[in-house]
């Protein structure tokens, strides 16, 4: 819709083309199946409870948890804000992005989560930089619990070492 703020609207997912219309109809039918309707709230409860308990357990790492259903996000604390003054002095355009440091933190955690636990995640940055958790709605409960515990294993010792490792590997 012509702006970064509107780029992730759900209304941009399906267009009025026949193939997309057939896809959205079938998606709606699947979403309305009784088995999935009963399973979905259980997943939401697990994700919400675990991520919010991690926020309480690690308040120096996790600043905020947002989400609903099977789409949740974590916003990390601003640990590297002191570097903003130094970054402003470096004449490289892409690091002048006001969200650059937050993106480095989240990308570092994403890479560590993937390399160590084989979990593929994504982030959004059209406002805050958010690490997304979006398991499939047919995910087994034990699998979801394990993957969320794996996330805790990644962050429990802090993110500073993860970020430094990422910077050494990818930026230096």
For residue range 37-61, what is the model confidence (pLDDT) as tens digits? Answer: 889 899 999 999 999 999 999 999 9
- At 11, the pLDDT band (50, 70, 90 cuts) reads low
Query: Poorest-confidence range of 34-48, 81-95, 124-138?
Result: 81-95
Which of these, 114, 107, 123, lies nearest to 150 by C-alpha position? 114
Which of these, 134, 75, 133, lies nearest to 105 by C-alpha position? 75
Quickly tell me which residue has 């003054």 as its tokens. Answer: 85
Residue range 99-109: mean pLDDT, rounded: 91
- At 92, the pLDDT band (50, 70, 90 cuts) reads confident
- At 120, the pLDDT band (50, 70, 90 cuts) reads very high
Query: Poorest-confidence range of 64-73, 76-85, 113-122, 155-164?
Result: 76-85
What pLDDT does 1 receive?
47
pTM beyond 0.85: no
Residue range 66-95: mean pLDDT, rounded: 82
Cα 143 versus chain centre, distance: 18
Residue 3 in this model has a pLDDT that exceeds 70: no
> HSE on the CB side for 144, CA within 13 Å?
24
């Amino acid at each position: 819709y012509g702006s970064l703020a509107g780029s992730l609207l759900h209304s941009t997912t399906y267009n009025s083309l026949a193939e997309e219309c057939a896809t959205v109809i079938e998606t709606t039918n699947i979403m309305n199946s009784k088995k999935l309707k009963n399973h979905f709230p259980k997943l939401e409860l697990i994700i919400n409870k675990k991520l919010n308990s991690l926020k309480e357990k690690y308040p120096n790492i996790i600043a905020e948890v947002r989400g609903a259903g099977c789409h949740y996000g974590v916003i990390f604390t601003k640990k590297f804000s002191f570097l903003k003054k130094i970054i402003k002095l470096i004449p490289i355009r892409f690091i002048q992005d006001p969200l650059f440091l937050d993106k480095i933190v989240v990308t570092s955690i994403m890479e560590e989560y993937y390399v160590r636990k084989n979990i593929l995640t994504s982030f959004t940055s059209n406002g805050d930089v958010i690490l997304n958790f979006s398991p499939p709605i047919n995910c087994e409960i034990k699998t979801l619990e394990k993957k969320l515990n794996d996330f805790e294993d990644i962050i429990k010792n802090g993110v500073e070492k993860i970020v430094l490792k990422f910077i050494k590997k990818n930026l230096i």
